[in-house]
Structure 1
Amino acid sequence: MLRIKRRAASPSFFSLVAESREELTHWANRSANERRQRRAPVNLDLFRSGRLVEHVAKDFGGRCAFCEKQIHTSDGISHFRPISVHNQHQADDYVDHYSWLAYEWQNLFLICLRCQKARADRFPVADDRRARFLSTLDESRNEEKPLLIDPTAENPSQYLTYLLSGECLPKRRLEKSTTTIEFLRLNDTDLIAERQLAIEATLQSWDASLRTGIALPEYFLLEGSYLGACRESIARTLVNYRETVVSINNGKALRNYLENMLRNASDEELSYVSASIDILRETDTARLKESRVVEFDPTLRSPISFASERNSRELKVNEIASISIENFRAVDSLKVGFPEVRSDKAGAPCLLLLGENAVGKSTFLSSIALAILGTKEARKLKLRYHELARSTSRTGWNVWSNSPLEVNVKFHRSSQSATFFYDPIRERLDGTTEQSAIVLGYGPHRYFAPAKGRRGASAADQVRSLFDSQKALPDPSEWLKTLSGSQFDQVARTIRTILPTGDDDHLVNHSEYGICVLAQGQLTPVSHLSEGYRSIFAMVTDICRSLLQYWSNLERARAVVLIDEVETHLHPRWKMRVMSSLRRAFPAVQFIATTHDPLCVRGMDDGEVTVLARDELGSVQIVGDLPDVSGMSAEQILTSEYFGLSSTLDAEVHLEFAKLNERLQSRQAPDIGLEAKELIAKVTLGRSATAQIIHAALQRYLDEREHDVVNVAAHARAEAVATVLRALRASRGN
């Protein structure tokens, strides 16, 4: 880790954050009581904005501030003082820390995804004494003593050192040193291996110059990953060479020193320095044995940062990279991939599955749940596994295939995968034994009833409604009544993020009526709310309850949540915001949902919507080459390949248009009324040659699409566009 010199913020930076800063200031000026159930309105997408990331990345040389790995700007930027801090003792005084510093230039760091996830929302301070709410950054630095190294305010080499084998060690066992290594997981197995390779390559170049006198490589010690560790390894070879000490924080000065040494030192001195490299390797081997460095599995959660006081189970926090399904119910073979990050927005990548009934949408969710649960938990569901096999008959549903069922879920930054395997001939269940990630599942009928909604304690119970449509959700009021203080407020803030509450609405734990929503001055018990309101309320509360078993901060909680028919019971206005609201409420959660409703596509990125359809042989396929869904209107979505409709007109009206169009094409236009002719001219035809060609292209495209929804996108749209373009060019030439 190197000392980083920050530049002053440019005027363009302040312009970028001005609007968001103003909204945050308005929230910060509310009273503490008003802020209790309101999340700080921080524009997380802004920290993935290309322009803002470039501003910050330049100061850090394109390297992570903590681990020093060279990273792409797609990792985004993060904060030294997190905008939502881990509240280990559930202290009300620190609920809003350090959200007010969200747009503070000196608090914005370039941090890689690995370090962001390792540190999460933890920001330890000495004696747990934090700065005052709304204190400036300078005041915060004076009022608290962070136990994480700030490379922009102090010299990391005073706290950390590196072995030639790649391990990071604390200097003098200082608390700040050990805490930084532990919280940032600077000794992840992968990180140690990469660091060792970089150090070894640096030493080999240096040794070659010492032995042969060849010039140092052009960017030696100036570019690349792990510069702090590499520069320190070179500096350690110079410890016994003269008395001059050069700081590793100044790469150009260190390089100049080495070049002068190569020019001016005697052969004996150069040989002495070269020999010191082998000596260092031997001494570091001994130091490693004495230090007892603990290497971290990068997929395991740290027990310090999460709610381990309430649940000591050591679960992994894997994020799905791809899903492969073979011979599972309606699915013959299917594979879907996930990016690690969204292209230009904050939050975890998600997936929305579209398609008609019986194309395998629910099957897709069930298969993911079984694979991630592991066979140990999956057996608790007591399923009839032979009924999961693919039916081989197109006329019946119970002619089961003898081919094995197989599901494989791969994860980002992990060599391990989750598998589910069932052999219908031998009736053998196999696959990953233990659970691979936190997974929650919700079937299409998300109702709750006090008598039927008792909550099971196992991981299998958390996905049971995907397999049992009669499984009710637990009554959210019963659990909410057990909460108090900051924990109740945190859940209330999350629910407010999703439900269409007014600015002054609150969730209230009433002594007589129980959990109520106070909206526009009216107190309403949850049990008396509308069906749609109760459905989403129960599901969101259950997600909160499940995640709080493992995480103390819902904004940082990572899990996979599966929702079948996410639009169930929702008003059209809710459908348009349900996915974006869920993602905003649980920004680190991977949501995988199904829907029949085009309105739910809102809130999804390009590439996050997958359409399933059957081909002419009845096999389920993914519709390819789909248009960008972001920014589409509901009608555009309906008439695109996502839903395969020719238009959104009423079926009878559409039929009349078709008949009129047919008569017009057969030269019966004079028989059509003037009003109908004008309407057709506006909607489908035109008087010019260009308009007629456009109509012909559109007609051909729609005809082909209605006959073959799976394969049309590969050629029909392109041909139609090409035809229109040729017509427009010809018209312009005339």
Structure 2
Amino acid sequence: MQYFERPSQPPAILKSPLTQASRKSMLEYWLIEPGRRSQTSVPIISVNEDEHLLREALANLNRQRCAFCEASDRLEVHRFRPAGNALPMSRSSDAHLYYLWLADAWQNLFPICPGCVPIEPQFAVRGSRCPLPTREQVEAYVNSGDGLWQFGMPSEKAMLLDPTEVRQFAGHLIPALDGGLLPGSTRGAYTIAHFDLNRGERRHQRYITYQQRLEELRSCTTPSDLSRIDRLVDFATLEFGGTWYLLLRRLLNHLPVNGIVRNPTPKQVGPALRRWAKARDAATLLAQAHHMLQREDARLHASDKQAMAPEPVVESITAIHIRNFKAIEQLDLKFKGAPARSLARSEPLAPALVILGENATGKSSILEAVALTLVPAAVRNALNISLAELVMDPAQLGVDGGDQATRAQIRIELSNQHWVELTIDQQAHGHSSNLDNQQVPVFAYGAFRRFTRTSQRTSPHAHVRNLFDGNVLSNPEPWLRHLRQDRFDMVIRTLREVLAIDGDFDVIQRAQESDILYMVTAISEPDGAFRFNRTPLHAVSSGYRSMLAMICDILKGLMNATIYPGFESFQSARGVVLIDEIEAHLHPRWKVQVMSRLRAALPSMTFIVTTHDPLCLRGMEQGEVVVLQRIASADSQAQRQMPITIESMADLPPVADLRLEQLLTSDFFQMLSTDDAHADRRLARIADLMAAHANGELSAEDERVLQDFNEDITNALPIGSSEVHQIVQLAVGEYLAKRRAASSQRLRNLRQAAKDQILSALERL
């Protein structure tokens, strides 16, 4: 890291209509009535399609290099101070506002490589954060339209090193010969951890670069080679130039050559090296200094604790492997990788999975397997489940009198090569992982998610037992009533993301004179006056109450230090939420938005849910939906011992691009028609109907079905031909008849065979 100057004038892109509109949306939020603003999440500030232009402007700041690790790499736009929800959060209802007003300010934007992008929106300060800007200051900034914050950057003691403010890094960062960076100060330690400057790839790059330059330096001991020193000390233009200077600075301190000053400035390094190169025993002196530097590095590494910024509490799930668990002989599920960060979303959504399938395809079993594997032993024991009974029973898969499997195994792979594994046999079970003392918070809910009128005592398994026994959830109102005000506002900000599906509200108030919580909505009268409607929280719809109870159960658990040590905010909290039949109790309007709303409310939590309803697929992307089906093992490509197996379908269409009609009739739901189930069953018999028609044995109702089918075929063909029409009829009819019970591989073969028959018929015309 090294100092570079930022031009005083912002680039033209920050004056574009799109970026001005972005700042205006920030201002609209800033001007919300303070009570409501404290219970409303900060907006996502984005520069949309203009981001590549801003990226180009920022890349020029540091000669196309990352501002923090100095690598010549692909660059992104980084907000040095987070655009809201900066961690750690203070005990204030306005803590989420830091540093929203600087989201698009020129002084807050830096070029960053993907590897340096922080995991969390951390921005620690020594002492208190700066005062919030006034309404007038924010309005003046937005109205100026140029993206330049005119009122000075926050007056606070930031723990992170800013390369446009800090000019001397020698007291903060100590580069070692092996490419590692050691902290020379508390700020240095925070900066190294925050930007992950010692990640393996970058550390190795620095090591190789240092070794190459040191080797070149060894050859600069003759007059003809002295000119090469100038290139080696042109720190501003060199990749890793800042840390290379700091390494040379350390090396020169060990060179016993007259006239070489200790701790030279960048401009003094070149003359010092020239003086060394002219020494009679220059090579020997350099070798001795190199050896002393190695010994010094060893001492520094031994004393380096690097404990200033702890690792994330949990990881994200990347894959689930299940063997011989209940009715699942073998199943492997992979999660889509997290999307790249951008200004459109400073914190990417965590992985999520929606599991579809008919009854008895193992959807609930997957959730149970994940929960039992991830929860601590105390929770597993408190559930009082006979684990031995969960080992696969062959009778459930078509084998009468077969021997029960000897062992069930569930392995969950996490990011950063971490994993957790649970094995179960008839006598005992074993649990292992490489997470050390970390744990993944788990919240699990079955299809029955009602709550009692009273609050229940907290137990070790309180947040997962509903999945296993349908136990009612605790009434959230007593918990909400007794929260500290800043925590209460934080909870309502998160609840609003989901509960606003039924219509937005202004605030949720705790009545002083009673224990009732009120949802307050301002209604505008014709004369411009406002009337406030106060609805008791317990009077909302059953679906609303069900969702409220579940989300509050999650939030309550996250704020529990036993379940989630080090909790700071719901936006950064990481864990796993399991929900069976997520559509239960929900109005269609809720079903369409429930997944996108849940993921917006808890963007770092991994959601794994099951559903029968296509409406719940809205908000999911390619690779975030799996379809399970029970098929004959002989029809599967995988090697199975049981005659019936559960398979995850492959080659599913992109769910985000499908209309509801297409969703229903796609492989996601294996429905042939969206009219009704009776018509769906008749369409599956098209091949039989065509044969019956040839024999004159069709009923009037079946005749209509076949006629509609023929019209669909006729309308789809570009030209008319009775021969082609007949071939297409037969090909499509055979495909529809066999499609429903087909495995993924057989479905591909059926689809291709039908296409080949139709193409062959058309080519003969």
TM-score, normalising length: structure 1? 0.82
Deviation at 1:229, TM superposition (A): 3.1
Q: Is residue 149 from structure 1 mapped to residue 161 from structure 2 by the alignment?
A: yes
Q: In structure 2, how many angstroms separate the alpha carbons of the residues matched to 1:142 and 1:435?
A: 35
Q: Is residue 120 from structure 1 mapped to residue 136 from structure 2 by the alignment?
A: no
Q: Is residue 476 from structure 1 mapped to residue 492 from structure 2 by the alignment?
A: no
Alignment correspondent of 1:132: 133
Change (3 A) 1:122 1:47: farther
Q: In structure 1, how many angstroms separate the alpha carbons of the residues matched to 2:209 and 2:469?
A: 59
User: Where do 5+ consecutive residues of structure 1 fail to align?
Assistant: 172-176, 302-315
Greater shift, 233-242 or 47-56, is seen at 47-56
Name the SS of the counterpart of 1:614 in structure 2.
strand
Change (3 A) 1:544 1:212: same
Q: Is the 8 A contact 1:641 1:709 kept in 2?
A: no
Deviation at 1:221, TM superposition (A): 7.9
Q: Is residue 185 from structure 1 mapped to residue 193 from structure 2 by the alignment?
A: yes
Greater shift, 201-210 or 547-556, is seen at 201-210
Greater Rg, structure 1 or structure 2? 2
Q: In structure 1, how many angstroms separate the alpha carbons of the residues matched to 2:620 and 2:168?
A: 41
Change (3 A) 1:285 1:324: same
Name the SS of the counterpart of 1:273 in structure 2.
helix
Deviation at 1:6, TM superposition (A): 4.7
1:286 partner letter: R
Change (3 A) 1:123 1:63: farther
Q: Is the 8 A contact 1:85 1:98 kept in 2?
A: yes
Match of 2:292 among 279, 285, 288: 279
Change (3 A) 1:659 1:270: closer
Q: In structure 2, how many angstroms separate the alpha carbons of the residues matched to 1:725 and 1:56?
A: 53
Deviation at 1:282, TM superposition (A): 1.8
Change (3 A) 1:105 1:390: farther
Deviation at 1:116, TM superposition (A): 5.0
1:272 partner letter: L
Greater shift, 277-286 or 326-335, is seen at 277-286
Alignment correspondent of 2:714: 685
Greater shift, 334-343 or 430-439, is seen at 430-439
Change (3 A) 1:38 1:429: same
Name the SS of the counterpart of 1:467 in structure 2.
helix
2:540 partner letter: L
Change (3 A) 1:365 1:182: same
Structure 1, residues 663-699: CA drift from partner, whole Å, max 9, x if none?
898599xx99999999656533236248847766654
Change (3 A) 1:619 1:122: same
Map 1:298-377; keep pairs closer than 5 Å: 300-301=311-312, 316-342=313-339, 346-377=348-379
Q: Is residue 624 from structure 1 mapped to residue 650 from structure 2 by the alignment?
A: yes
Structure 1, residues 485-536: CA drift from partner, whole Å, max 9, x if none?
2221111111111111534443222243612323454433232221111111
Q: In structure 1, how many angstroms separate the alpha carbons of the residues matched to 2:597 and 2:519?
A: 19
2:216 partner letter: S
Deviation at 1:26, TM superposition (A): 1.8
Structure 1, residues 37-87: CA drift from partner, whole Å, max 9, x if none?
2222214695997676666566567765445567666x8744434422236
Q: In structure 2, how many angstroms separate the alpha carbons of the residues matched to 1:36 and 1:566?
A: 30
Deviation at 1:464, TM superposition (A): 1.4
Alignment correspondent of 1:402: 405
**Total equivalences in the alignment:** 697
Q: Is residue 533 from structure 1 mapped to residue 530 from structure 2 by the alignment?
A: no
Q: In structure 2, how many angstroms separate the alpha carbons of the residues matched to 1:434 and 1:377?
A: 16
Change (3 A) 1:112 1:651: same
Q: In structure 2, how many angstroms separate the alpha carbons of the residues matched to 1:130 and 1:110?
A: 27
Alignment correspondent of 1:237: 251
Alignment correspondent of 2:107: 106
2:480 partner letter: L
User: Where do 5+ consecutive residues of structure 2 fail to align?
Assistant: 142-148, 524-531, 634-643
Percent identity among equivalent residues? Answer: 27
Greater shift, 238-247 or 576-585, is seen at 238-247
Q: Is the 8 A contact 1:354 1:609 kept in 2?
A: yes
Cα RMSD for the two superposed structures:
4.3
Deviation at 1:609, TM superposition (A): 0.8
Q: In structure 2, how many angstroms separate the alpha carbons of the residues matched to 1:698 and 1:258?
A: 83
Name the SS of the counterpart of 1:576 in structure 2.
helix
Deviation at 1:355, TM superposition (A): 1.0
Q: In structure 1, how many angstroms separate the alpha carbons of the residues matched to 2:606 and 2:208?
A: 38
Alignment correspondent of 2:441: 438
Name the SS of the counterpart of 1:284 in structure 2.
helix
Q: Is residue 546 from structure 1 mapped to residue 552 from structure 2 by the alignment?
A: no
Alignment correspondent of 2:529: none
Deviation at 1:141, TM superposition (A): 1.3
Change (3 A) 1:97 1:297: closer
Structure 1, residues 199-245: CA drift from partner, whole Å, max 9, x if none?
442343234324456989x9998999865434432443345576599
TM-score, normalising length: structure 2? 0.79
Q: Is residue 639 from structure 1 mapped to residue 639 from structure 2 by the alignment?
A: no
Q: Is the 8 A contact 1:455 1:473 kept in 2?
A: no
Map 1:452-467; keep pairs closer than 5 Å: 454-458=456-460, 460-467=461-468
Q: Is residue 609 from structure 1 mapped to residue 625 from structure 2 by the alignment?
A: yes
Q: Is the 8 A contact 1:79 1:102 kept in 2?
A: no
Q: In structure 1, how many angstroms separate the alpha carbons of the residues matched to 2:209 and 2:271?
A: 13
Change (3 A) 1:423 1:680: closer
Q: In structure 1, how many angstroms separate the alpha carbons of the residues matched to 2:507 and 2:276?
A: 74
1:91 partner letter: S
Alignment correspondent of 2:383: 381
Name the SS of the counterpart of 1:630 in structure 2.
helix
Q: In structure 2, how many angstroms separate the alpha carbons of the residues matched to 1:4 and 1:71?
A: 18
Q: In structure 1, how many angstroms separate the alpha carbons of the residues matched to 2:614 and 2:418?
A: 36
Q: In structure 1, how many angstroms separate the alpha carbons of the residues matched to 2:389 and 2:50?
A: 45
Alignment correspondent of 1:490: 490
Change (3 A) 1:447 1:226: farther
Q: In structure 1, how many angstroms separate the alpha carbons of the residues matched to 2:507 and 2:310?
A: 38
Q: In structure 2, how many angstroms separate the alpha carbons of the residues matched to 1:590 and 1:40?
A: 21
Q: Is the 8 A contact 1:115 1:185 kept in 2?
A: no
